Amino acid sequence: MDARLLKLFKKLPAADRRRLCEWTQCSLFNKRPEVAALCAHITQHAAHPDSMRAERLHEAAFPGQVYQAARLRHTISYLLQAVRGYLAWSEWNATSDSAPWLLQSLRKRGLDFMFPYEEERAMKALEAEPLRDAGFHYLRYRLLQEKLEMASRSERSARLSLQPLPDALTAFYLSDMLRLACVALTHQAVAGQAYHFAVLDRILDSEDKENLLAEPAVGIYFHAYQMLKNGGEEGETSFQHLKELLARHAEIFAATEMRGLYLMAINGCIRRMNAGQRTYVREAFELYRAALTRGFLLEDGWMSGFTYKNIIRIGAVLGEEPWTRDFLQQYREALHPRDRDNLYKYNLAYLHLQKQDYAQAMPLLQQINFDDALHQLEARRMLLRSYFELGEWEALDSLLTSFGAYLRRQKGLGYHRTTNEKLLSFVKKLVELPSGTTARQKLRTEIENTPDVAERQWLLERCAG
């Protein structure tokens, strides 16, 4: 049996497998009864390897007939084709507005008497929708395009205003291109991959710029783009415009898109925070709170561990302790069950460490085990600090050994391996440090002159105390 077909069936949710069987049973989509029979058999028995043997599959598709390998291969191929058709149709059915396709069908079939009614109905339905995102402008363009095609065929195009057509297309193109440019600039900052948007920049520098930006779908992404692209006063101005537009236009974008926009604005804050602009710590905090209030930080009903962690970190830095502890508890259930316990204990331990309550942090950290390497590294560093501060020297020695082994064992850590190895080396020196200020000052100087050391500030403080 084709391995792709079996893997597909195993990966598809039960509801999709059921609908796929219905699809193959409909003569509009499949005229081969053996394909429907094979689909039903695989749906029922995919988890049982013995039932997936070629002979059993052939018997399911061709009951009582002599086994023919070539015929079975052809049937499997037809079933794969049916699966492709079903997957494409289900996605189209779930995400596509059928109105432009209906108008196109009426036009091509010469059903002119139906066209005006359906075109007016589609336009009224579109205008009644609250969303004014890129998808709205594209759908409007498609409806106007069909109206123009019908009018030109009946020689009435002279009475038709053409301006709305390029306006709708321009709004769609610019908003979607600006969204893509924002994603590219974010990726460029992380991965160093250079992107160029010369055509986009020339359009945005045109004399008609203000009219273009008046459309919320264009304006909101334009200011996000300028914020990510520019520093200084220009970037600050764009950030303030973006923040204002996020508050004003929350109802005209889908929640998933608003989530992306808020995270984009927060990412701009984090980049400026990392560059030493401390005022953006408060800006990021307020953006997080606004997004939480509107329910924009959940994806498929869950909050990501990184968002949960970032909010707690920023709240702690600002000294918003009561609010941060309330958030920690309130959104615990919003974390995916797979990671919930680890993430909760990890962040609770962090808050204890912020208060130098190492005795409360240590038992929590001992219970944590992350699959994610970066979370695991930070948890181990937090535990290392707790052992050191509490004078748990045997436990610290054991952790230094296991931490070093973990770093050697993990692949793909990149510079994180180096920074953490330097931390372990300096902690060992700290433990063995003879009494006296001269020795401590010498080690402090060595730490200051060594690039890329994890927990550098904590190490320097330990040398001073």
pLDDT per residue over 264-277, tens digit each? 999 999 889 888 89
The overall average pLDDT reported for the chain is 92
**157 or 24: whose pLDDT is higher?**
24
Longest Cα separation, the chain: 97
End-to-end CA distance of the chain: 69
pLDDT category at 292 given cuts 50, 70, 90 is: very high
Give the model's pLDDT for residue 157: 52
150 contacts 192 by C-beta, under 8 angstroms: no
Give the model's pLDDT for residue 158: 54
* 3-state secondary structure at position 271: helix
Q: How many CB atoms lie within 10 A of CB 180?
A: 15
> 457: which 2 tokens?
């500030």
Give the model's pLDDT for residue 115: 94
**Measured between alpha carbons, how far is 244 from 387 in angstroms, rounded to an integer?**
46
Whether the pLDDT of residue 156 is over 60: the answer is no
Average pLDDT on 229-256 reads 93
CA proximity to 307, closest of 328, 322, 323: 328
293 contacts 250 by C-beta, under 8 angstroms: no
227 contacts 242 by C-beta, under 8 angstroms: yes
Domain extents in the chain: 3-95
Burial of 10 (0-12, 13-18, 19+ CB in 10 A): exposed
> 96: which 2 tokens?
């596509």
pLDDT per residue over 102-137, tens digit each? 999 999 999 999 999 999 999 999 999 999 999 999
**Measured between alpha carbons, how far is 6 from 12 in angstroms, rounded to an integer?**
10
CA distances from 225 to 117, 204, 242, 269, 281 (A): 41, 11, 10, 13, 20
pTM of the full structure: 0.82
pLDDT category at 191 given cuts 50, 70, 90 is: low
DSSP tag of 434: P
Whether the pLDDT of residue 457 is over 80: the answer is yes
pLDDT category at 465 given cuts 50, 70, 90 is: low
